[in-house]
Chain A
Amino acid sequence: MLCENCKERPATVVFKQETLNDKTERHLCDKCAFYSQTFSFSPDQEPLSIQQFLAHWLGGSELFSEQKADERLPDGPKCPNCDLTFHRFLDIGKFGCATCYVAFSGQLPRLFAKLHNGHTQHRGKIPVSLNERFALKKKLEDIRTKMQQAVENERFEEAATLRDEANQLKQQLSDGGDDQHVI
């Protein structure tokens, strides 16, 4: 079968187009099919920029703004530090500050999975200062377990010493930052 368009080369692609009222099916060769596409795509073109990716592939700005006029969709979470909204973040493809990661933490795993081949959790280098904090946290957990055992066995003097030690470690941790959520 020859290409319906150029009538020169063999038809290798079935080109289907669907609109609200109509459905068409055309048999085209590779070349005509390539040039018939409603959006231009060249195999040599640069990969999508991160802004384009976020805005067009994850239902970002354009999708939002079309609906926004009628429905006033919320902008999503907003960063309390730099005022960046999640909607705006999708638009520009950049975070405004480190706190944005906390503000958008609910949305981020899905986004990171798309960007990083399904990965959502860091597995690389950890700053040395943070490594020290991990070590402190671990030690604190150990002391709390020992303290619990001492109380259960009515070794109250030992429990009191462990409690003081735990308090000291807690103080060290709070000096170095938040115990619960380290950023």
Chain B
Amino acid sequence: MTIRRVLRLLPVVPSILLLLLFLVAPVAWSFYASFTNASLTGKAAQDPQWVGADNYARMFSDDSFPLSAWLTVVFVAASAVLGQNVLGLLIALLMTRSRKVVSSVVGTAVVAAWVLPEIVAAFAAYAYFNREGTLNQLAGIVGVDGVDWLYSFPLVAIILANTWRGTAFSMLVYRAALADVPRDISEAALMDGARGWQRLTFITLPLIRSSITTNLMLITLQTLAVFTLIWVMTAGGPANASTTLPVLAYQEAFKFGDIGYGTAVASVLILLGMVFGALYVRLLRERRP
């Protein structure tokens, strides 16, 4: 009986092997390597030495890590939590009240930015925020002098670009959630004389609360990992002004060849991902009937 049970689980083995080799092992190796002086070239590449918590100590004394952690927080809060989440909800709400043609055309436009390959979206955003780009041309039409966005306000540009790129996900989540809100509840509230804002804050939002939290969790994780968009638009510059943690980990490991320090930064990022991942799993478990 027990042997049969074990045999039944056999088909899961390939997946487990893949996950162990390509996800669990790199994570474990990351934590290990972050305590060594491993590097891409030179003596430390052949024979990395254990350096204890040196990399982590350096991380907090160095200027680049605290700056980069702060930039990551601002980037995630502004482009995911505020930008994608609020805009996605707003679009979904507007869609319930607008004509079908308008909502499907706009829906397609929003989704297009999301479905495009990341590198293409990044090029489009680069061109858009360029000194000679569309945004400044539009500003010129209304008589405002353009600025060099990518140079003067790199973080603002990548926050807007990431909002543009990622809002579709929140929009789809909220459209599905709003479609599940029973019509008679909001109609009853309307009869009781509730105004638009009141219905939104006291009825609709509480009803889709679990979608909101799940969505926030997922977009936070996705935004935490954004690399290509930033790398194409500003490459983390100028002078680290848009170096979020993934960009910092990449630069330290591959540009400066310092694998030990790069993995230390990556390990912090993995830990952050784990915290949010654990919260996400908890949320879904509680939602289960």
- Whether A and B are associated in the same complex: the answer reads no
Interface residues of B (CB under 8 A from A): none
Task: Name A's B-contacting residues (CB within 8 A).
Answer: none
